[in-house]
Structure 1
Amino acid sequence: MPYQNSLDFARQLDAQDPLRAFRSQFLIPKGPDGQPCTYVCGNSLGLQPTSARAAVEAEFAAWEEHGVEGHFRGTAWMHYHDTLTEATARLVGAKPVEVVVMNSLSVNLHLLLISFYRPTATRYKLLMEGGAFPSDQYAAASQAKLHGLNPDEAVVELVPRPGEHTLRTEDIEAKIQELGDSLALVMLGGVNYYTGQAFDMAAVTRAGHAVGATVGFDLAHAAGNLLLHLHDWDVDFACWCTYKYLNSGPGGTSGVFVHERFANRPDLPRLAGWWGHDPSDRFQMKKEFRPMPGAAGWQLSNAQVFPMAIHKASLAIFDEAGGMPALRQKSEQLTGYLEWLLRELNLPADELEIITPADPAQRGCQLSLLLRRRGRALFEHFAARGIMADWREPNVIRLSPVPLYNSFEDVWRIGQAVAEWGQLPV
């Protein structure tokens, strides 16, 4: 698409946008001037759907009216997580038996690692990206220790080539092949939180399986952002949060994917909980654990109804918008426009550099700006102009125009703000 740097052009794109009406389904914080801000922090916390409050209030009303019988009346909390299954499967490219919504992200990651990181004396390496989100680093190290291993020896980190900011797929594949029979697990983020790089999950999964390793992904920055085909890619397991691109509230619930080949594997080691037990005799309170088929067998506890109510409201918006194919199409245009505007400024690379890949297939809707000078000044410049961005130490600003509620005019205003900052005296 040939872009233009003008407000009229941005508004023309907005007028032609088939998803423009969805912006009104979200509550946008106010900027310093009392007007809705330009919110580009969806990769950290998504905005509140206007339907969220009513969704939770409905469950408050059910609690008030029914008490404990709410588990069986009305929306029937007993089966509440089931109401999220179909939409979740569509979101991540899975079969319904392969997904469940439960717990929170780090909890789910640990539960899955208990089952899928099974090191032996000779096959014990865990491969992950260097600079992964700290929770993933902590999880990998603590799981290695749990098996009596030294994390410095068991956990192998991928780092970019000298002078580069992101990983090359061929280098990931080469490292997997190099580790070979010593590799037990490949665990990457679907999108690196810092650089915004989206990994080729299909290629990584093929490479891992070729050497006999298990492959899983933390999709915190990928779910609701990228087109995912977890079943077709043959991914073994994955998990994600719902409070970023899925707009389901701070500390919101989490999703899990376990490939259907493990659906009827009660022999898999796992940390068992009552809600993962076969529901046909769950209430007989038998001592022996018999897991439900599929991802649901990893459940520990009954549904977190209030956060799940918000998530259910948000998933309905995704379906109404046409799902990830429609959202991804707009996302590529929004992020592409932002990238074009920033590159048109021709700012010196030693001052501002976009470290997110330029190839749309290797990124979601995030652009990470590396600021070698005056980084905090730009962040504060944004804030003063009602642009809510995300600062990451030591010198990166992350901008994430989200297709459900960001506009092309939002993106144009960011470009204008960077242009103003570039003219400020050093």
Structure 2
Amino acid sequence: MLRHEFHLPSGRDGQPLIYFCGNSLGLQPRAAADRLQQELDSWRERGVEGWWGGPEGGWLGYHRRLQEGLARIVGTRPEEVVAANALTVNLHLLMVSFFRPAGKRRKIIMERGAFPSDQHAVQAQLRYHGLDPASDLIEVGPRPGETTIATEDIIDAIERAGDELALVLWTGVQYYTGQFFDLQRIADAGRRVGATIGFDLAHAAGNVPLALHDWECDFAVWCNYKYLNGGPGAPGGLFVHERYAERPDLPRFAGWWGHRESDRFLMKPAFHPAAGAAGWQVSTAPVLGLAPLLASLPLFDRAGGMSAVRARSLELTGRLYADLQEMKGMQLLTGGDPAQRGAQVSVYVPGHRPDLEKQLSELGLICDYRQDNLAGSEGGVLRLAPAPLYNTLEEVARIPDLLEQALHPIR
């Protein structure tokens, strides 16, 4: 869609590589260097006065420059989102506020096989409250012989947990299989039993259409370096529903950048949180880390918004899925229903091949290979993620031939 707006990695022959790894690290927008240079120039020319002077009013309210763009991508109001901290840091910060076990309502539900950082954070939070993950963590996984999780099984697990359930923490798009979950139904089911609802959108933000405000979830977190192209280690993003915008009574691990701006610099010991999601900022805004996002977010608007991005994604993954189905000896882990997959198709390759990723790179395809962790078999999984903003159907069409060359080289 906007391929010309990105720097494309190239091979030894100088030709662009097929980059199907936007689910791990998005490509660099061409405008990112200018955005960074603008802030470097301000730092060089103004020093500390760059906080309140220079382009666009200085750095003091830097996070506000990103709020409207992020809000359009995740389906919220601007004051409900902020780019700050990091993904797992934000998950911990928001669980401090929204996971409040009391009495028998103390359990958390999440998907089995969630990204390890989520598993680490959830288990740590349970133990922090004196709870035991063995009894207070409910995990829902695929049915025997299946690779994706049925929505009905998620809803059933929520309903069975009932008034013992304190938090539903669910993933938007499953990192391993690429499954896109029905977040609205999950949120509705959680609310019906009185649980708090949180989403990890690490693989969903900038990938699939979201409507966090309308779904009435309580909070969400994501990273900005995958489909949002914010650069390696870019600060994360978080959402807090507007019903909590003016709730200074909520427990939180406070930091001074989350203090209201009107008297932040009076340096008083009492903490008065900023309204909205900004109140969950902790440390000083990392200006140089946020700058590339100012180059990336406008590209989604230029592409026509998330509905247009999604339409292109379905076109790319539809062709990729159909082509991979025709290849013998591989099993698709991603479901066949286009509505239940993001910009990713995962395929199981028999026989553990730790060299496969390197071989594919040498052939001109950058993707992700992991040893299989679903069936415990001797094989691996390729995660192929064509990003709608910069990948093409022509690139998708080359995938079967490249896989064939890597898997069955001519001796």
Q: TM-score range by the shorter chain?
A: over 0.9
Distance in 1 between residues matched to 2:284 and 2:273, nearest whole Å: 14
Distance in 2 between residues matched to 1:201 and 1:375, nearest whole Å: 35
Aligned to 1:9: none
Distance in 2 between residues matched to 1:220 and 1:411, nearest whole Å: 24
Deviation at 1:300, TM superposition (A): 1.1
Aligned partners of 1:31 and 1:387 also within 8 Å: no
Q: Secondary structure at the match of 2:120?
A: helix
Aligned length: 402
Aligned to 1:51: 31
Distance in 1 between residues matched to 2:361 and 2:191, nearest whole Å: 46
Aligned partners of 2:356 and 2:369 also within 8 Å: no
Deviation at 1:35, TM superposition (A): 1.3
Distance in 1 between residues matched to 2:341 and 2:282, nearest whole Å: 34
Deviation at 1:372, TM superposition (A): 2.0
What value does the CA root-mean-square deviation take over the aligned residues? 1.5
Query: Which moves more between the two structures, 376-385 or 236-245?
Result: 376-385
Aligned to 1:247: 229
Q: Secondary structure at the match of 1:257?
A: strand
Counterparts in 2 of 1:186-201, with a 5 A limit? Answer: 186-201=168-183
Aligned to 2:343: 365
Q: Secondary structure at the match of 1:287?
A: coil
Aligned to 1:337: 319
TM score, norm. by length of structure 1: 0.91
Which digits, 9 at most, give the CA deviation of each residue in 1:277-316, with x for residues without a partner? 1211212222211111111111112211011111111112
Deviation at 1:420, TM superposition (A): 4.1
Deviation at 1:36, TM superposition (A): 1.0
Query: Which moves more between the two structures, 278-287 or 125-134?
Result: 278-287
Counterparts in 2 of 1:173-192, with a 5 A limit? Answer: 173-192=155-174
Distance in 1 between residues matched to 2:323 and 2:145, nearest whole Å: 25
Which digits, 9 at most, give the CA deviation of each residue in 1:153-208, with x for residues without a partner? 21111111111111100000000001111100010111110111111100000000
Aligned to 1:417: 402
Change (3 A) 1:284 1:423: closer
Counterparts in 2 of 1:201-350, with a 5 A limit? Answer: 201-345=183-327, 347=328
Aligned partners of 1:381 and 1:417 also within 8 Å: no
Give yes or no for the alignment of 1:38 onto 2:38: no
Aligned to 1:10: none
Counterparts in 2 of 1:127-146, with a 5 A limit? Answer: 127-146=109-128
Query: Which moves more between the two structures, 273-282 or 44-53?
Result: 273-282
Q: Secondary structure at the match of 2:63?
A: helix
Give yes or no for the alignment of 1:98 onto 2:80: yes
Q: Secondary structure at the match of 2:320?
A: helix
Distance in 2 between residues matched to 1:344 and 1:352, nearest whole Å: 9
Question: Which residue identity lines up with residue 396 of structure 2 in the other structure?
Answer: V
TM score, norm. by length of structure 2: 0.95
Deviation at 1:362, TM superposition (A): 0.7
Aligned partners of 2:352 and 2:371 also within 8 Å: no
Structure 1 gaps, min length 5? 1-18
